[in-house]
Structure 1
Amino acid sequence: METLLLWLFYISTFYAFIPGIISRLFGYRVFRKGSGVQEFALTFDDGPDPKYTPRLLDLLSKYGAKATFFVVGSHAERHPELIRRMHDEGHLIGIHNYIHKSNWLMRPSTVRKQIQRTNDIIYGVTGERSTYYRPPWGIVNLFDFSKRRHVKIVLWSAMFGDWRQNLGTERLTEKMLARLGPGEVMLLHDCGLTLGADPEAPEQMLIALERTLEEAKRRGLRSIRVDDMIKAAEKSPLLRLSFGKRLLVGAWLTWERCFRLMFRLRTVTPNLPFLHYRLREYQGQAISLDRGMTLSKGDSIIEIHVDNRQLFELGIQSRSAAQLAIRMIRRMDQDLPVLAEIIAGDESLAEVKALYGVTMINRGPEKFGFTVKDLPEGLFARLTKFYLSVLLSVIHPAGGARLKERSEALVPKMILMPVSQLLDHYGQKCTGTKLRKRQDAAAVLEDDMAAEEFPGAHAH
């Protein structure tokens, strides 16, 4: 009996658990998130539903939004008129199995039949077959990765728990607005008949969705079909990376999320994150700053971090190190004034003495008002250099080979700035003269960095 249980454990681990982890964390053979400047994707599971789907289609039409519906085949079979309307109104129709059952609980042949049966129903109504598939609960098994499936697995980047009625409309709206942004694949449900869902939950989803679409309109964002998002993503330089590097990037970005949660980092501009920060006590040796100030052990500081996902995306979209540096300069110039406003308006930050970060930028930060100092020699400096070397080998446009040629330049530095200096420089609304000075400084910085071979990355 013990041997049988052990074999069942091994089989379930390799058949279900490991493929699930690989797909969720590293995006292996699945699509989870797109790219772009103004586009996001609304996706709806478990329908169609005769009560809520027509109202949802009306709402999407009102805002000119396109969406992707992953339909349950048995529901589609009962309501072909809704499948026809989805198709006629320009939405994408995907497959969500014939019945809403986990792929972990079905043999590969059964999953294949579920997909094929649902696809036949869609074809019978629309005259087109679907090549997009979302397994129920996003749970894949080992054979879902097979190319013989002839479907593209689509997961999501943002899920909100909208199938629970006790979440409430206000909280659901907050969660949706917090994740509204370019490239997001948002998971919602237009049917509440699935096991574990509340039948009336789509009612509050529709209210929250209208508020989200209204905000998207205000921001100039638009919802597109998943196939259009995939086509745009396929042009991304990310696809030029080997699977090993994509695996490394996945682990790195997972660590980024864990780090932000563990240390409760706050984000300067949540809608387009670039700088994160946290309040802590300085624990290093005494350092002289500008304005005759000294930073001593125990002083309150704001530790800043660059968003790793944004850093990676800037890196892979840049044709050269100079272009990456210039893009980082522009983002920093956008976020520092906002950080100054946050500090000025938050009483809990009133006693902060300085901004603090660790970077490999050898030139540039001082033009923003930072003082650049060497890290004290020791274990922290060595580990930081190793971490940033690995990081830059992935995001640097020239790749790891170029970094090896200039390894002596990979020296992590501390950057520091008195908070009073930040507030003086950025804390007031820019006048014309002040704005021109900032623009001139940024232009000089861009010229300087155009010759710099190693744009920076902030270490955690």
Structure 2
Amino acid sequence: MKEKLIWGIAIFLAVYMLLPWILTRMLSVGVIRRGGKKQLALTFDDGPDPTYTPKLLDLLKEHGVQATFFVLGSKAEKHPDLIQRIHEEGHQIGIHNYTHFSNWLMSPWRVKNRHVDRSATIVEGITGVRPTYYRPPWGIINIFDFILKKNYKIVLWSLMTHDWNSSIGSAGLKMRLSQGVSDGAIILLHDSGDTLGADVDAPAYMLEALAEALTEFKEAGYSFARVDDLKSHTTTIGMAKRVFIRLWMVWERLFIRVFHIVPIDPDNTFLQIRVREYTDPKPLTLEDGEVFAKGDRILELHLNNDTLLELGRTSRNSTHLAIQMIRRTRELLPQITRLIENDPAYRDVKGLYGITLINRGPEQLGFTVFDLPSGPFAYFTKVYLRLLMYVIHPDGKDRLKTKSDLLVPKIIAISSKELENRYAA
């Protein structure tokens, strides 16, 4: 039970925190991070601030530049006059939570209701226009924040200058702007310095550096746009998927090493196993009458995702992939049977046990299929396996869209007795 709890917590943290960070910060999936050729988007977080925001608006007006402000709802309540001025001067207003608090430390419902929707309502009450663009504090989101995409577009950045640190100075900041800018850059800056980790006087240096940079950027032929006016928000999905697959396989190898999972056949690594105790308090009764009870030793079945990925690449379609998987499994089940019969390390195991989205073919091989009990473990297992389907399945992206109701994780199990009846020499 303890091992299952640890595994459940690991899956939760990976899916809730690490996975969205990889998807958004490394692969730009589901977020806006860049515009078109010779375009720049200036974005300002943490305001409005009664000291620095008016000076910033004066500077932008002097240069005829429109920008995007990601405001905190609590500050918008205190300074409605600044929100109204930002709107009237043609700038875009987005949301940056009600207070500057990390989404990792809040429930998804609190993020949406108490921060994003609340702040949008405040701005709408002042300007008459409801914001539809959102930037989470520190660019950190949890997996449920993707739900916000129904009503909001998530915006990150492609150039961060660390302008919240006043020790950089205006000259150092100007250098970072000049050297870091490129076509389509979304530039992250701050018009307030009173948030955690920032220096109160940092915006003053930002304003000095920006005044010089605006002139330089114009001379270089750049134009400025609000985020909602950028020409292109797209990223290369093919490249993103390739990077995602590479990262996924690193995780896969780490998982195998930590949990001591071994292939059944070194020359055919499609199926892998590890011995563990059955930990569910509720017994599992198989079709042949055998029962997996708490404390019974079982073989936990795993698919080698490296091999599965190669099968997905070479398969003509989903049917061809399923046929290859069933054939490979059928080839290896006799070897598992021999291990259970002859190897002292496996002789007392009650059978095979696994969790999979591909749960139709196993029945013809003698497995019994069970529903996975509802709860957090089932939910995060579903998310994990659906992402695996996206990576490996030849029609993964389309299959997730069109057959999502069928992609439900199931338990598959077969007793040692049934293995012997079917696959013993």
How would you bin the TM-score normalised by the shorter chain?
0.5 to 0.7
Q: Residues 220 and 8 (structure 1 numbering): CA distance in 2 closer, same or farther, change over 3 Å? A: same
Determine what percentage of the aligned residue pairs are the same residue. 48
Is 2:139 the partner of 1:138?
yes
Matches within 5 A, 1:348-367: none
1: distance between equivalents of 2:133 and 2:101?
Answer: 17
Partner residue in 1 for 2:181? 180
1: distance between equivalents of 2:166 and 2:127?
Answer: 33
The aligned amino acid for 1:248 is: R
Partner residue in 1 for 2:331? none
1: distance between equivalents of 2:59 and 2:103?
Answer: 32
Is 2:53 the partner of 1:59?
no
Whether contact under 8 Å (2:35, 2:232) holds in the other structure is yes
Q: What does the per-residue CA deviation read over 1:404-438, in whole Å, with 9 as the maximum and x for residues that have no partner?
A: xxxxxxxxxxxxxxxxxxxxxxxxxxxxxxxxxxx
**How much has 1:9 moved relative to structure 2?**
3.7
Matches within 5 A, 1:267-306: none
TM-score by length of 1: 0.51
Stretches of structure 1 lacking an aligned partner (at least 5 in a row):
253-460
Partner residue in 2 for 1:171? 172
**How much has 1:46 moved relative to structure 2?**
0.3
Is 2:13 the partner of 1:12?
yes
Whether contact under 8 Å (1:112, 1:149) holds in the other structure is no
Whether contact under 8 Å (2:133, 2:153) holds in the other structure is yes
TM-score by length of 2: 0.55
Classify the secondary structure of the residue corresponding to 2:69: strand
Partner residue in 2 for 1:248? 242
Classify the secondary structure of the residue corresponding to 1:168: helix
2: distance between equivalents of 1:86 and 1:49?
Answer: 12
Whether contact under 8 Å (1:96, 1:136) holds in the other structure is yes
Q: Residues 250 and 169 (structure 1 numbering): CA distance in 2 closer, same or farther, change over 3 Å? A: farther
The aligned amino acid for 1:176 is: L
Whether contact under 8 Å (1:132, 1:152) holds in the other structure is yes
1: distance between equivalents of 2:202 and 2:9?
Answer: 37
**How much has 1:146 moved relative to structure 2?**
2.0
Whether contact under 8 Å (1:26, 1:251) holds in the other structure is no
Q: Residues 5 and 168 (structure 1 numbering): CA distance in 2 closer, same or farther, change over 3 Å? A: farther
Classify the secondary structure of the residue corresponding to 1:196: coil
The aligned amino acid for 1:134 is: R
Matches within 5 A, 1:117-266: 117-146=118-147, 149-229=150-230, 232-233=231-232, 243-248=237-242
Name the Cα RMSD after superposition: 2.1
Q: Residues 223 and 251 (structure 1 numbering): CA distance in 2 closer, same or farther, change over 3 Å? A: farther
Is 2:68 the partner of 1:75?
no
**How much has 1:250 moved relative to structure 2?**
7.9
**How much has 1:102 moved relative to structure 2?**
0.5
Matches within 5 A, 1:79-98: 79-98=79-98
Classify the secondary structure of the residue corresponding to 2:70: strand
**How much has 1:217 moved relative to structure 2?**
2.0
Q: What does the per-residue CA deviation read over 1:64-107, in whole Å, with 9 as the maximum and x for residues that have no partner?
A: 11100000100111000011000000000000000110110010
Whether contact under 8 Å (2:95, 2:116) holds in the other structure is yes
Q: Residues 54 and 2 (structure 1 numbering): CA distance in 2 closer, same or farther, change over 3 Å? A: farther
Stretches of structure 2 lacking an aligned partner (at least 5 in a row):
247-425
2: distance between equivalents of 1:249 and 1:21?
Answer: 10
**How much has 1:244 moved relative to structure 2?**
4.3
2: distance between equivalents of 1:147 and 1:45?
Answer: 19
